[in-house]
Structure 1
Amino acid sequence: MAARRNRRIRKTLNAAKTHWLYNQTEVMTLYGVCRNTVLNWTKAGLRQIEAEECLFRGCDLNEFQRVRREKAKRRGEPHEIFCIRCKTLHSLLVEPFKVVTSRFGCHVELICPDTGQSIRKFVSDAYIDSVLSLDPSRPRAESQNYTASPACTGFGQNGSFLPDDIIPEDEHTIYCYQRALIHTEGRHEKTVDASLRAIRLFQSYLAGTRLSETTIAQVTAFKTAFEEGAFRREQQNASGTDADRQMLSSSTIVHCFGNLEAFFNWLRDRPGYRKIPADIPSHFRPSRHHRKVAGAPTEKHVPSHEDLLTLIRAMPDARWRDRRDRALVAFLYLSGMRDGAVIGLRLKHVDVERREILQDPREIRTKNSKTMRSSWFPVGEEFAGIVTGWIGELRQAGAQDEDPLFPQTRPTFGQRDPREPWVTATPLRKIVKAAIQRSGQQPFRPHAIRATLARLGYRIALTMEEQKAWSQNLGHDHLATTAIYYGKLDTDTQARLMSTMWNRGPATTEHELIDLIRVASPEKLQAIRVLLRG
């Protein structure tokens, strides 16, 4: 299994991350090769950085592997045929051949002079005429050569800016920062990649200047150029001419400047960089306008409880796949879990009798690796019945505790090892999108269902204790998290409630009694009930 995995990684052209740095041992682990192979790659032209230890840039590794694969390909001219036995290209302009017509079509056939075996290639009549019109003495196309510095593609999600001038001391320092983010701070790979992308962008702007010689004027000029979109990839319109540069979003600006500020705060304590002015990191802070815009919540459609009921009832349940999809959508509402965590659930994680769910971060991708035991939300027996029926169907088919709650395909349980759940949440999102299109509702994301539950809690969770339980069941440590990020009312509901309060006027005795009854204990409620009934 390990050898198969190494072969698969070795065939991957983009195994290395573009902005990362790798030492020799990490390159060996990344591609599953030995030390001599890496040394042979350097002799073949792979660029290495001679610092305190030998380092390789991810962009150089990817480019070297791409060109290396291109050179290994046997790209023949139109008049050549490749022999799989002798691994040689044979020209129809040199070797004698014949044209054979059969019920499968027309093909040319020649005898390999090395092996004596017949070589065939299916062609058309126009191909024969074009081959005969070629000049046998014309030169072959040249193969592509390896270039160590790939072109800059711009700043963005898929863009990259890499400096052409390599300073070994700075590269080793960036490598130390990369390791500090991973091993000391425990950052995720995507977070590390975003930090390194911002550092590479600033390096490209310095144009060969050492990081230790950074000045406030350079930082200010870089911020101005970045905010004006100077590093944005230029798009092309339909006519093929360069269009105006697209401005970067405030969120991108804030995150980029924040990563650079954190890097220079770390850099000032490194030997050789202590001469950097103390206020350099603070000059990377974005403007207040960008911080406000980046933190402003975006308007999103949140389905109501009735919308989800309509959605479930519009989904078919004739086939096995239909019942799985229907149970999946119902479970999203019943559990309130994130889609990335739902795909990793197994049958052992769901207790139908107690209506509880165990979210174990060792097996499920929970946010911030939280361990939670949540309960089903009181959204109605119709949703609970769909999920319970689906689990019962899996159990009757022979599913065990280790089998996924939502299998990718219809499995045959008990005849092989437990099936693996989905790797990403993309199939789940496609299922929800198809269900929304079928019901004709306004599109929404699966994560919006959590906001539906937060708003439903305003009507069901009446006491402070119930509201806290509702918030914890969503996985929030603080009640304010639920109210701020999920419980925001839409404008129609806000206007309706304000109109109701306008017509109602100031609070009266009846309203005061209603508020007291809502927070009264069961004993007091029973006493009030007896008193009112006389």
Structure 2
Amino acid sequence: MRKFNEENERIKRRYLQYLKRARRKDASTVQKAAEGILRFEASTNYADFKRFHIEQVNKFQDRINAEISKATGKPLSKSTIRTILNANKGFFLWLADQSGYKSRIRHSDADYFNMDAKGQRVASTVRETPYPSMEMTRHAFNFMPEVTEADKRNKAIFAFLMLTGARDGAVASLRLKHMNMIDGCVYQDAREVRTKNSKSITTFCPSSNGLRQMAF
């Protein structure tokens, strides 16, 4: 049965509210922070954060480096480990300024949550994602059925993705008003469209005729 430490729960709640209200972090970021901190707390058997000591971090690092992912059956990726450690580093940096913790936790204690240099390089490595060429997508497009209304809709959506390169979440939230038929572009307004990192994006299509045909 999972244990709880009431005082820990209260201070964690304050920190998560700080991330959400003061740092303006989105819900997914706050959730990841909560999960990362809980992992560390569980590794100490839910000891009071006021009893923090460096050896707890050393054991925690050993634990997550040896942990096997339930989803993949493999060790946790370096990027996942970095996310977990960074969540705790941010928490303890904040904790060192809080009343009741200042005398027990120093800002430098948070540095023990850093990864080693090799792990950092691996976690930061950008892997190339394979993607189909335009020739391949055109071939698939040409062989898509277009008998029913649903077929024609699917083919239009596929063509739209080919021409704009927009993310599926963004496309699902687009409206006709976001398409400019004259200039042949799509304005992904972050106020209304679910874009990555809530950034507004303007995508110009290779041919405005293609955009016009899809709209009609």
Same fold (TM over 0.5): yes
Q: Which has the higher contact order (CA 8 A, sep 6+)?
A: 2
Whether the 8 Å CA contact 1:323–1:390 is kept in 2: the answer is no
Asked if 1:372 is matched to 2:201, the reply is: yes
* Residues 253 and 290, structure 1, Cα contact 8 Å, conserved in 2: no
Offset of 1:364 from its aligned partner?
0.6
**Do the aligned partners of 1:341 and 1:366 also contact (CA within 8 Å) in 2?**
yes
Name the SS for the 2:183 alignment partner. coil
CA deviation string 1:323-371 (max 9, x = no partner): 1111111111212222211111111111222212222222111222223
Residue in structure 2 matching 1:282, options 111, 127, 136:
111
Does the residue aligned with 1:220 lie in a helix, a strand or coil?
A: helix
Per-residue deviation at 1:232? 5.1
Cα distance in 2 for partners of 1:329, 1:209 equals 53
2:80 aligns with: 252
Out of 152, 157, 166, which is 1:328 matched to? 157
Unaligned runs of 5+ in 1: 1-150, 152-161, 236-244, 393-534
**How many angstroms apart in 1 are the aligned matches of 2:202 and 2:106?**
50
**Is contact 1:312–1:330 with CA below 8 Å preserved after alignment?**
yes
Runs of 4+ deviating beyond 4 Å: 231-235
- 1:59-98 CA distances to partner (integer Å, 9 max, x unpaired)? xxxxxxxxxxxxxxxxxxxxxxxxxxxxxxxxxxxxxxxx
Q: CA deviation at 1:233?
A: 4.8
Q: Return the letter of the residue paired with 1:174.
A: K
Answer with 1 or 2: which has the greater Rg: 1
Q: 1:294 to 1:205 in 2, by over 3 A?
A: same
SS in 1 for 2:187: strand
**Of 20, 23, 28, the match for 1:185:** 23
Identity score, percent: 30
Cα–Cα, structure 1 residues 280 and 345, in superposed 2: closer, same or farther, change >3 Å? same
1:389 aligns with 2:213: yes
Out of 19, 25, 35, the position equivalent to 1:197 is: 35
CA distance in 1, matches of 2:115, 2:172: 38
Listed as ranges, the matches of 1:156-235 within 5 Å are 162=2, 164=3, 166-229=4-67, 233=70
* Change beyond 3 A, Cα 1:388–1:181: same
CA 1:233–1:326 in 2, change beyond 3 Å: closer, same or farther? closer
1:361 equivalenced with 2:202 (yes/no): no
Aligned positions, number: 215
Tell me the distance in 1 between the aligned counterparts of 2:175 and 2:95: 45
- Matched residue SS, 1:280: helix
Corresponding residue for residue 310 of structure 1: 139
Give the CA RMSD over aligned residues: 2.1
Taking structure 2 as the reference length, what is the TM-score of the superposition?
Answer: 0.90
Q: Which whole-Å deviations, capped at 9, do the CAs of 1:148-200 have from their partners, x for residues lacking one?
A: xxx4xxxxxxxxxx5x1x33222111110111111111111111111111111
Match status 1:346 vs 2:175: yes
Tell me the residue number matched to 1:292.
121
Cα offset, 1:315, TM superposition? 1.0
More helix by share: 2
Post-superposition Cα deviations, 1:241-287, rounded to whole Å, max 9, x if no partner, equal xxxx7421111111100111011011100001112133210000112
Query: What residue ranges of structure 2 are gaps of 5+ in the alignment?
Result: none
